[in-house]
């Protein structure tokens, strides 16, 4: 036998030990996985039972809270829509004022044909 060489029997013993270690590690992982699954199932059940308890005992409070939140949301949306309508009207007024100022400017310089809004040339400017 040479130095560093292993006999067949030694190789078989090493392989058996490795297989046993792999089996033990796999069993430990399976046990951990099952334990975590059981724990999360238990947590879900506890949370669900707490929510059911709260809903059954504080049903009216939840109803009022939801009604209040929905009312606030709806009023905020309508306020936003009203603000948007006001902004659009303001923009339209500004555009009209700008057109009127151009018309007055053209009138002041004596370019009556360019200043006339009914004139097709004025529309193209």
Band (pLDDT 50/70/90 cuts) for residue 6 is low
**pLDDT tens sequence across 42-82:** 998 998 888 888 878 888 887 888 888 888 888 888 888 88
Residue 40: its pLDDT value, please?
87
**Can you tell me which residue has the tokens 């006001």?**
86
pLDDT of 3: 47
Per-position DSSP letters for 109-123, written without gaps between them: HT-HHHH-TTSHHHH
CA 47/CA 53 separation, integer angstroms? 10
> What percent of the chain is predicted at pLDDT more than 90?
0
Please determine, for residue 122, whether its predicted confidence score (pLDDT) is greater than 70: no
Residue 121 has pLDDT above 60, yes or no: no
Cβ atoms of 1 and 7 within 8 Å: the answer is yes
- Per-residue pLDDT, averaged over 111-125, amounts to 53
- Tell me the mean pLDDT in the region 94-110: 74
């Amino acid at each position: 036998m040479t130095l560093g060489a292993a006999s067949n029997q030694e190789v078989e013993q090493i392989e058996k030990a490795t297989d046993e270690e792999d089996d033990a590690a796999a069993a430990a992982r399976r046990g951990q996985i099952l334990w975590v699954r059981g724990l999360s199932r238990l947590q879900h059940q506890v949370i669900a039972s707490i929510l059911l308890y709260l809903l059954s005992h504080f049903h009216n409070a939840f109803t009022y809270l939801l009604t209040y939140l929905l009312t606030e949301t709806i009023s905020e949306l309508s306020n936003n829509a009203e603000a948007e309508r006001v902004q659009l009207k303001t923009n339209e007024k500004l555009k009209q004022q700008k057109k009127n100022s151009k018309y007055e400017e053209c009138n002041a310089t004596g370019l009556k044909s360019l200043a006339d809004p009914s004139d097709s040339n004025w529309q193209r400017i």
